[in-house]
Amino acid sequence: MDEVYALAELFDTVSTTHTSDGVIHKSEWAAAMLGGDGQGGGRAPRAAPSLFVDRVFAAFDAASNDIVDFPEFVRGLSVFHPAAPRAEKAGFAFRVYDLEKTGTILRTELRALLAAATADNPALALSGADLDALVDAAFAAGDAAGDGVLHPSEFQAIAASRDDALAFMTLPGLRALTARYPGYVFRKQEG
d(CA 181, CA 62): 25
The pLDDT score that the predictor gives to residue 37 is: 45
pLDDT digits (tens, 9 = 90+) for 160-176: 887 777 877 887 767 66
Cβ neighbours of residue 39 under 8 Å, at least 6 residues apart? 30, 45, 46
Q: Tell me which architecture the domain covering 2-82+170-180 has in CATH.
A: Orthogonal Bundle (1.10)
- CATH 1.10.238.10 residue ranges of the chain are 2-82+170-180, 86-169
Whether this prediction's pTM lies above 0.75 is answered by yes
Q: Tell me which architecture the domain covering 86-169 has in CATH.
A: Orthogonal Bundle (1.10)
Could you give the residue ranges of the DSSP H alpha helices within 61-106? Answer: 70-78, 86-97
Q: How far is CA 136 from CA 38, 81, 105, 148, 175, in A?
A: 31, 30, 13, 11, 34
The pLDDT score that the predictor gives to residue 136 is: 95
pLDDT digits (tens, 9 = 90+) for 72-113: 998 888 888 888 888 999 999 999 999 999 999 999 999 998
131 class by beta-carbon count within 10 Å (0-12 exposed, 13-18 middle, 19+ buried): middle
